[in-house]
Amino acid sequence: MNSIGHFVSNESWPGTTSRVSDIINPATGGVLGMVTLASKADVDAVVQTAADALPGWSATPPAKRAMVLFNFRDLLKKHMDELAALLSAEHGKTLPDAKGEIARGIEVVEFACGIPQLIKGEYSEAVARNVDCFSVRQPVGVVAGITPFNFPAMVPLWMYPVAIACGNTFILKPSEKTPSVVMRIAELLAEAGLPAGVFNVVNGDKEAVDALLDNPVVEAVSFVGSTAIGHYIYSRGTANGKRVQALCGAKNHMLIMPDADMDQVVDALIGSSYGSAGERCMAISVAVPVGKDTADRLVAALEPRIRALKVAPYTDPSSELGPVISQQSYDKIHDYIQQGIDKGAELIVDGRDIELPGHEGGYFVGGCLFDGVTTDMSIYTDEIFGPVLSVVRTESYDEAVKMINSHEYGNGTAIFTRDGDAARDFWARVRIGMVGINVPIPVPVAYHSFGGWKRSLFGDHSIHGMEGVRFYTRLKTMTTRWPSGIRTGAEFNFTGGKDV
Ligand code: NAD
């Protein structure tokens, strides 16, 4: 059976504890392997390794750091199929979806390859007579990343390529549900020429996370995961004097105007609400049609498309909807569906009765569609993180915008319309971090930054792009005066005072 430890100093390390957690195949419910759960002492040892590697790496010229990332990028591309298979086996998402997330992660590596340009300082000549002023960005030091199960490759790649490009050393604590792909990627980083100790992986649960948050050597923490845990990590990390960015949960609305192209809307919702079984922080989980006619047309067009979704494990190339991650998630989603019914929402498509021969123990939930949802229902207020779409009917555009702005989450949103005026008003007024105009999942490209508002992000910085460079560096500003020998009349030339 596959047994996963940690990756430290460019080699695997079993750690010193016997605490483990099962890695489950969500398509069968069977055990794929075990992952070691680090103790505080193990985490502290890994932090020391990262601290020891810091002076050498932070003094390495940015262009040389970038050379390692160029190699790393090539290795990720070369091993794409192998990485996607590792990822899908533990997560359950389809292979094209797995390759898609690795490709988006590679974009961040490509961005980080430009670090000599990105980290360039600023210089002001003659801020006063003979006085110049300049600023540089220096690495923050040892930094940690704590990541969720749903993008086991991409979310860590949002963090460490930028962090190590900036000259930091890094400790990644991936989700204990999906640890394997990161372990293989760590080997590729070593193969790319990264010095030992610069990038380390420590597997574990709350004990490992708390050890990272409490270790004074760790200067900064990037977290991606649920809001409850993110808020805890932000509070504990900042109380310990660390810089923390915590990207958290979501409830993303799509506003559908009466003039929208309904075919495009339905295509967009099928992909964004049911892709990856709805386990995306940018999934659309609320459709907000404006006007009764728009809502009726939407529900009529969506229903047959959801019923036709192919629910199957990733090993079936025709699969469109794989399992959710765990028995706990499966139960939670069923519980929310029942709450929606009990509160009077109309379950138009019920995905609860899926049966797949040979996969009876798997956590498959078919696509679900609720109509007549109201804002006081838990299926509206809470992040379900499954293939469940709620339709909330509104009478006007203003009512729809007000509703979206009132939700506690502010990660992503989209509007579908042919009206440029409405689209412009929407992106200008909506209190959400990422906005799509006729784009259902507006995940920014790597050279822009990703992050929500409200309870979808704690901290001052979004992730990757220039926000990533700012988060992983500290600004230092120098003011210099050089007394001028020429002005004082002293001799500083080569001629010893003779005329030439
Ligand atoms: P999670 O919060 O359960 O776990 C995230 C990380 O925190 C994991 O590494 C986990 O081991 C650790 N953790 C869990 N419980 C902990 C505890 N009590 N104390 C300390 N650490 C703990 O999240 P998840 O279920 O793995 O991922 C799904 C969530 O992530 C969803 O809410 C989703 O919206 C969110 N997410 C957000 C973004 C974003 O960019 N905003 C991106 C992806 C996922």
Is the CB–ligand 1 distance for residue 245 below 6 Å? no
The band of 92, judged by pLDDT with boundaries at 50, 70 and 90, is very high
Region 51-80 average pLDDT: 98
**Ligand 1 atom with minimal separation from the 385 CA:** 31
172 lies in the same domain as 229? yes
Is the CB–ligand 1 distance for residue 94 below 6 Å? no
Closest listed residue to residue 76, CA positions, set 152, 173, 171, 187: 187
Per the domain annotation, does 444 fall within a domain?
Answer: no
- Answer yes or no: is pLDDT of 491 > 60: no
- Answer yes or no: is pLDDT of 495 > 70: no
241 lies in the same domain as 256? no
Region for 114 from its dihedrals, namely left if φ exceeds 0, alpha if ψ lies in -120 to 50, beta otherwise: alpha
392 lies in the same domain as 323? yes
Ligand 1 pocket: which of 23, 202, 226 to mutate (most atoms within 8 A of CB):
226
58 lies in the same domain as 169? yes
Alpha helices in 284-434 (DSSP H): 292-307, 327-342, 378-381, 397-406, 420-429
Per the domain annotation, does 82 fall within a domain?
Answer: yes
**Ligand 1 atom with minimal separation from the 177 CA:** 26
The band of 482, judged by pLDDT with boundaries at 50, 70 and 90, is confident
Is the CB–ligand 1 distance for residue 462 below 6 Å? no
Alpha helices in 308-415 (DSSP H): 327-342, 378-381, 397-406
Distance 249 CA to ligand 1 centre (A): 8
The per-residue pLDDT for range 337-350, each reduced to its tens digit, is 999 999 999 999 99
Per the domain annotation, does 140 fall within a domain?
Answer: yes
Region 428-454 average pLDDT: 97
- Answer yes or no: is pLDDT of 497 > 50: no
Q: Report the pLDDT value the prediction gives residue 48, as an integer from 0 to 100.
A: 98
Is the CB–ligand 1 distance for residue 155 below 6 Å? yes
Per the domain annotation, does 485 fall within a domain?
Answer: no
Q: Report the pLDDT value the prediction gives residue 488, as an integer from 0 to 100.
A: 55
Distance 95 CA to ligand 1 centre (A): 23
Region 288-310 average pLDDT: 98
For the chain, how many structural domains are there in total?
2
Q: Report the pLDDT value the prediction gives residue 2, as an integer from 0 to 100.
A: 83
To the nearest 5 percent, what fractions of the chain are helix, strand and coil? 40, 25, 35
302 lies in the same domain as 386? yes
Identify the active-site residue in 113, 166, 248, 281.
281
Look up the domain containing 408 and give its range: 252-437
Per the domain annotation, does 300 fall within a domain?
Answer: yes
Cβ atoms of residues 275 and 101 within 8 Å:
no
213 lies in the same domain as 274? no
260 lies in the same domain as 244? no
- Answer yes or no: is pLDDT of 492 > 60: no
Is the CB–ligand 1 distance for residue 452 below 6 Å? yes
**Ligand 1 atom with minimal separation from the 411 CA:** 41
- Answer yes or no: is pLDDT of 444 > 60: yes
Is the CB–ligand 1 distance for residue 149 below 6 Å? yes
Per the domain annotation, does 446 fall within a domain?
Answer: no
257 lies in the same domain as 385? yes
Q: Which helix (H) or strand (E) holds 207?
A: helix 206-214
Is the CB–ligand 1 distance for residue 33 below 6 Å? no
Query: Which amino acid, one-letter code, is at 96?
Result: P
Can 281 be counted among the known catalytic residues? yes
Query: For 145, phi and psi rounded to 5 degrees?
Result: -125, 135
**Ligand 1 atom with minimal separation from the 383 CA:** 32
Please enumerate in sequence order all residues whose Cβ is within 8 A of that of 462, keeping only pairs 6 or more positions apart, or say none: 245, 247, 433, 449, 450, 451, 468
The per-residue pLDDT for range 335-387, each reduced to its tens digit, is 999 999 999 999 999 999 888 999 999 999 999 999 999 999 999 999 999 99
215 lies in the same domain as 343? no
197 lies in the same domain as 300? no
Region 53-66 average pLDDT: 98
If you take atom 16 of ligand 1, which residue's CA is the nearest one?
A: 206
Region 186-194 average pLDDT: 98
Per the domain annotation, does 353 fall within a domain?
Answer: yes
Distance 206 CA to ligand 1 centre (A): 11
* pTM score above 0.85: yes
State the Cα–Cα distance between residues 139 and 132, nearest whole angstrom: 23
271 lies in the same domain as 415? yes
CATH code for position 169 = 3.40.605.10
Per the domain annotation, does 272 fall within a domain?
Answer: yes
- Answer yes or no: is pLDDT of 410 > 50: yes
- Answer yes or no: is pLDDT of 70 > 80: yes
- Answer yes or no: is pLDDT of 496 > 90: no
Alpha helices in 355-414 (DSSP H): 378-381, 397-406
Q: Report the pLDDT value the prediction gives residue 487, as an integer from 0 to 100.
A: 57
Mean pLDDT of the chain: 95
Sole residue written with tokens 């794989």: 322
186 lies in the same domain as 268? no
